[in-house]
Copies of this chain bind each other. A is one copy, B any other.
């Protein structure tokens, strides 16, 4: 029922997604039974793989998370998430209210990580493919442990979503030297570099590496990630609009623009952000599709949910999370007499 359009987008998306999915993938659709049933009038075959779960109420797009928690029980969103907890579904996809979806998912499924809230992931296009970038706004204050959790979850997500066997992971910083950045990133760097967490850590990366594709996964706190993502979106919008103005000024440029139109359209499509983001750190797979999603977008979100559910994603995260306490432990301090300013004593110790 969620998003700007509700069933008129979700139902065609289900029909579309079903075409590429194995026969054993089935759907529970939560919401207004009559609306859903009439939406399938022309797709009776698809309806055979769908079970309608009537829900009388919905969460409004502008509802506050706290309010959604208080009065959410029995809404379509609540029931969709509850179906995961009860083992009736393996993943949920919603185009509804993001804050409410996060709060309800956290309450019903509980967190597998020690996060304040599920982490928000986004996928940024690069010349080589896609960068998985997190957290883009859910967890504002992050210590080193949170950052390492993001690395663990982002890495497993990237493998499941993009089929990259061993994604390369980087930590966002203001320079590549060990001394750079605030304490939290330096400590997370130490933990990841030590290699006790099973992932391919490549060290610090900088803001311009997000679109360069030097690593597959880039980790940062939710404040920096949210600002960087929105700043990038702002630049993309600005450039496209400037370009449009420039290309329509002057007769030759106008003619050029007409001729280049299809190329520009292809280009704009590539710059479109991915339509869905998983909420990472939950005991269960929940995907948030953006509110204005088209049929095509929502179908892509469904396929992503299926990819995640069929992968080892959750088990991989769990395995690395169990390594975290040991990895976070302070490195053993050398005995005091081994620390000498000229290094002689430590050299002596290896003799």
Choice from B257, B267, B270 contacting A256 with Cβ under 8 Å = B257
Q: Is A236 touching B235 in the complex (CB atoms < 8 A)?
A: yes
Complex Cα distance, B212 from A236, in Å, reads 11
- Mask, A232-262, CB within 8 Å of B = 1, is 1111111101110011011011011111111
Contact B228 A231 (CB under 8 A): yes
From A264, which residue of chain B is reached at the shortest CB distance? B246
Beta-carbon contact of A252 and B259 below 8 Å: yes
Partner-binding segment picked from A149-157, A202-210, A279-287: A202-210
Chain B residues closer than 8 Å to A238, beta-carbon distance: 125-127, 211-212
**Would you call B208 and A174 a contact (CB within 8 A)?**
no
Please name the residue on chain B nearest to A265 by beta carbon.
Answer: B246
Question: Once the chains bind, are B224 and A209 in contact (CB under 8 Å)?
Answer: no
Nearest CB on B from A250, distance (A): 7
Say what secondary structure dominates the interface of chain A.
Answer: helix
Whether A263 is near chain B, meaning CB under 8 Å from some CB there, is yes
B-side contacts of A228, CB under 8 Å: 207, 227-228, 231
Among B127, B250, B262, the residue within 8 A (CB) of A253 is: B262
Closest to A242 in B: B267
Cβ contact of A212, chosen from B234, B259, B262, cutoff 8 A: B234
Contact A230 B207 (CB under 8 A): yes
Q: Is A137 an interface residue (CB 8 A)?
A: yes
On A, residues with C-beta under 8 Å from B are: 125-127, 137, 140-141, 172, 174, 181-182, 206-212, 220, 222-224, 226-239, 241-243, 246-247, 249-250, 252-253, 255-264, 266-267, 270-271
